[in-house]
Amino acid sequence: MGRTKPHVAPFVGPQWYVAAAWLAAAIVAQATIVHYLAFRGAVPSLVLVVVVWYAIRVDARRAAIYGLAAGICEDALSAQTGAAWMISTGLVAVVASLLSRGFFADSLPLAAAVTAVATLLRSLLFWIVMALGGYPAGLGAMHFHAALAQAALNVAVIVAAMLVARRFESARE
């Protein structure tokens, strides 16, 4: 009598190429256009918004891979960050994925809350890694204020994006 494989639910998250296309577009926009939208020293992070959008729809392993890939791209485009974005974005993707368990992924309050937490946590992890790498200390308050501003911007971006997506979906139906 042969052993049967345990039943595994089929993957229903976004296709990898769709997620990759969104990530690529976000990274290009992040390195070129978003710079001009700076508010109180912070810019909205389209990359993090895309990572959170993906992470709250998939399991932690996929979220980690996606977050690491996004972080590597950001490190490649940044100066002197080493692997700080890779580490912080990868960990935050896992946290976002775990936080979203038990909720509907298209819930606006959930997405907004996870985005805000993810922004603050990623900033904290990023500057911890940078400090370990020798970045001069003494700017903690400034970085915290910038992270708060970025969290507000990111929440606004993800809420706007989800509302637009809902409008398109309802128009299609």
Partner 1 sequence: MQIGAQRAGSVSPIATVAGSLFMAGETATTAAIRAARGLGLGMLALPGLERENAQLRQRNQTLTQENARLHELAAAYAAESAVRPVVDLYHGVEARVIGFPPENESRAVTIDKGSRAGIRRDDGVLGASGVIGRVAAAGPFSSTIILATDYTSRIPAIVRDGRWWGIARGNLSSVIVEFIPQDAPLRVGDVVVTGEGRSFHSGVPIGTITAIERGDATLYQTAVLRTSVDFGALDRVVVDTGGSH
How many other CB atoms sit within 10 Å of the CB of residue 101?
9
- Smallest CA-to-CA distance from 52 within 105, 123, 126, 131 is with 105
The Cβ of residue 98 has, within 10 Å, a number of other Cβ atoms equal to: 14
Distance from C-alpha of 28 to C-alpha of 17, rounded to nearest angstrom: 16
C-alpha 123/C-alpha 128 separation (Å) is 8
User: Beta partners for 19?
Assistant: none
* Contact pick of 30, 97, 100, 115 for partner 1 (by CB under 8 A): 30
Applying CB under 8 A, among 18, 32, 106, 132 the residue interacting with partner 1 is: 32
- The yes or no reply on residue 81 touching partner 1 (CB under 8 A) is yes
The reply on whether position 126 binds partner 1 by CB under 8 A is yes
Binding window for partner 1 (CB under 8 A); candidates: 8-16, 24-32, 59-67, 100-108: 24-32
42 contacts partner 1 (rule: CB under 8 A): yes
> For binding to partner 1 (CB under 8 A), which residues are involved?
27, 30-32, 34-35, 38, 41-43, 45, 47, 74, 77-81, 85, 126, 135-136, 139, 142, 146, 150
